[in-house]
Amino acid sequence: MSTEASLKAFNEAQNLIPGGVNSPVRAFKSVGGVPIFITEGKGAYLKDVDGNEYVDYVQSWGPLLFGHRDETIENAVIDAVKHGLSFGAPTLAETELAKLVTEFFSSIDKVRFVSSGTEAVMSAIRLARGFTGRDDIVKFTGCYHGHSDALLVEAGSGAATFGNPSSPGVPADFTKHTLLAEYNNIESVKKCFEDSNDIACVIIEPIAGNMGLVPADKEFLHELREICDANDTLLIFDEVMSGFRASINGAESITGVTPDLVTLGKVIGGGMPVGAFGGRREIMEQLSPEGPVYQAGTLSGNPVAMAAGYAALTKLKQNARVMDVLNKRAQRVVEGMQEAAKEQGIVMQIDTRGSMFGFFFNENPVKNFSDAAKSDAQLFARFHAGMLEEGYYFACSLYETGFISTAITDEMIEATIKASAKVLKAIKNG
């Protein structure tokens, strides 16, 4: 499979765009090789500048639940465009999408739309701080919540729970209110509450997808809820990725734990730039212009993006059983690959939630980021390259999650498994 044109495109892009990409993960740095430049998507397939075709298991990192160029969503966007691109004024489309979001997520009484997941999380954190009058926040190592300063944090020295900036350009002062806990480890959360009596919120991906797929244990989430209640701290579920991907009614419907605020993105934009945050009425009503907590955005609630999101969620509402079908396919693809790996004496940990799937080349189950980091990154990179060569487009990092779209058929899944057996055999004999 030639990637000459992608290489040429990548070299040119690097002269004009840092790293040649507009989001770091796309540069294939953790797997090596040339990032594939895409010309179009259709259904389950991506096509690249060399004319190669791939079954797409990334789907723009989650948004495309119905695959590429879904007719319903595409027609909704085209119709919206014919009425104008943006007004900077309220439209009926925003209210209609808000109705759907609040219908699907029982914990959301009111919702505010923004243009990215980062913006949704940044705003939800500010709202939690404004509502509680407190400054500190707790996040979990391995959870990613977008690139706002307070959340670009890595573990501090020793047993310190207060984190340090994980990126240059983030002043230590901007992360001094961020405490770090270990995912699925309730003792580490208790430690944070011993170290601070000023915690506004705990933010968690209840189904983590940014350390690979690592769902939180139900018991852990219930204990987390109890600790937040005991301290009048808000619990924020960051479902930018898992929302409408793990279930159509949110992690709360799977775990029985109700958050105070939820952040959303990806699927709710149908492929267009949309983020959202919502929750209990008394909290949301603190948001400007109803309340004092300021938040704004020129293209927030953009009518074209709203139309795409509304079409996607309406389609989901009309096909409520679709998540069961997608989960069966997710289970089949990882079970099939696990079996193929086992035939080569390779241990693969697997998991799924709804249309999300994850796998680690790891001898042991993965319950947190330090477990995930013990996975065989080199083997993952070789597997990724081999599958790409066979025409299967997997996430280009072991710390990402795979997705099944409605456009991916059982036949494609079986072919993927067959290809994985060929790739893993070649790696083993390599």
Interface with ligand KE4, residue 238, by CB under 6 A: yes
Residue 299 tokens read as 């293209």
Cβ-based nearer residue to ligand KE4, 60 or 344? 60
Tell me the C-alpha distance between 89 and 79, whole Å: 19
What phi and psi values does residue 265 have, to the nearest 5 degrees? -175, -160
Interface with ligand KE4, residue 31, by CB under 6 A: no
Tell me the C-alpha distance between 44 and 330, whole Å: 14
For residues 209-228, which are near ligand KE4 according to CB under 6 A?
A: 209-210
As beta bridge partners, residue 356 has: 353, 403
> Hey, is 231 helix, strand or coil?
coil
**Strand pairing of 261-265 and 275-279?**
antiparallel
CB of 269: closest distance to ligand KE4 in angstroms? 9
Contacting range for ligand KE4; rule: CB under 6 A; set: 129-137, 144-152, 319-327, 357-365 = 144-152
Beta strands, E only, 135-227: 136-140, 153-154, 164-165, 178-181, 199-204, 207-208, 214-215
Interface with ligand KE4, residue 23, by CB under 6 A: yes
Tell me the C-alpha distance between 273 and 114, whole Å: 8
How many Cβ atoms sit within 10 Å of the Cβ of residue 33? Answer: 16
Cβ-based nearer residue to ligand KE4, 252 or 400? 400
Tell me the C-alpha distance between 112 and 284, whole Å: 8
Interface with ligand KE4, residue 183, by CB under 6 A: no
For residue 193, what are the CA distances in angstroms to 15, 124, 200, 289? 48, 20, 11, 32
Interface with ligand KE4, residue 25, by CB under 6 A: yes
Preceding amide of 165 cis, omega within 30: no
CB of 91: closest distance to ligand KE4 in angstroms? 22
Interface with ligand KE4, residue 259, by CB under 6 A: no
Cβ-based nearer residue to ligand KE4, 193 or 220? 220
CB of 338: closest distance to ligand KE4 in angstroms? 23
Interface with ligand KE4, residue 117, by CB under 6 A: yes
Cβ-based nearer residue to ligand KE4, 284 or 398? 398
Residue 50 tokens read as 């060399």
> Hey, is 27 helix, strand or coil?
helix
Annotated active-site positions, please? 144, 238, 266
Interface with ligand KE4, residue 241, by CB under 6 A: yes
Interface with ligand KE4, residue 139, by CB under 6 A: no
CB of 174: closest distance to ligand KE4 in angstroms? 18
For residues 383-412, which are near ligand KE4 according to CB under 6 A?
A: 400
Residue from 41, 63, 259, 265 in contact with ligand KE4 (CB under 6 A): 265
**Strand pairing of 110-114 and 275-279?**
antiparallel
Cβ-based nearer residue to ligand KE4, 210 or 295? 210
Interface with ligand KE4, residue 240, by CB under 6 A: yes
Contacting range for ligand KE4; rule: CB under 6 A; set: 141-149, 192-200, 317-325, 369-377 = 141-149
Residue from 3, 52, 107, 118 in contact with ligand KE4 (CB under 6 A): 118
Q: Which helix (H) or strand (E) holds 46?
A: strand 45-48
Residue from 145, 225, 245, 315 in contact with ligand KE4 (CB under 6 A): 145
Residue 39 tokens read as 């010309």
Asked if 281 contacts 107 with a C-beta cutoff of 8 angstroms, the reply is no
CB of 145: closest distance to ligand KE4 in angstroms? 5
For residues 54-113, which are near ligand KE4 according to CB under 6 A?
A: 61
User: Nearest residue to ligand KE4, using CB?
Assistant: 117
Contacting range for ligand KE4; rule: CB under 6 A; set: 205-213, 290-298, 349-357, 362-370 = 205-213
Cβ-based nearer residue to ligand KE4, 61 or 361? 61
Cβ-based nearer residue to ligand KE4, 248 or 417? 248
Q: Contacts by 335-343 with C-beta closer than 8 Å and gap 24+? A: 336/413, 336/414, 336/416, 336/417, 336/420, 337/416, 337/417, 337/420, 339/417, 340/417, 340/420, 340/421, 340/424, 341/420, 341/424, 343/421, 343/424, 343/425
Which residues of the shown chain bind ligand KE4 in the complex (CB under 6 A)? 23, 25, 61, 116-118, 121, 144-146, 205, 209-210, 238, 240-241, 265, 275, 400
